[in-house]
Amino acid sequence: MKFVDKLADRISEGTRTLSQKTDEIIEITELKFDMRNIEKEIKEIKLAMGEMIYEYFISTENNMPLNQIKEKCREIQRLEKELNRMKSYVYKAKGLNYCHYCGEMVDHEEKYCSICGHKVIK
């Protein structure tokens, strides 16, 4: 009877582990989808800024829309911060090292991020 009980316990533990891993994979997949949407939104904002600057360039008026450009830049910074937070979470969930400053993946041997140059915190 002990054998059957041990087998049942192992099966239960395996099922719990499998369920946890499945949940993690689903969460990471959803995060990656959200990350792609944020990257797309950042590109759209940059495109809109470029259009504003070009409109200023071809206009006869000398009033560049600095406040609107600054507002769009702040929105990009906010989105990049959120994107980096998501990247860090995904890398950490996968057991990879990442830069705490910019969120990019960093090799285990690296002491500094090859993207932003900040020291890697381990």
Full-model pTM: 0.70
Question: What pLDDT, in 10s, does the model give residues 8-52?
Answer: 677 777 777 777 777 788 888 899 999 999 999 999 999 999 999
Q: Domain ranges for the chain, please list them.
A: 2-95
Q: What b-and-e string marks burial along 12-51, b requiring 16 or more CB atoms within 10 Å of the CB?
A: eeeeeeeeeeeeeeeeeeebeeebeebeeebeebeeebee
Q: How far apart are CA 53 and CA 68, in angstroms?
A: 10
What's the pLDDT tens digit per position in 64-77?
A: 889 999 999 999 99
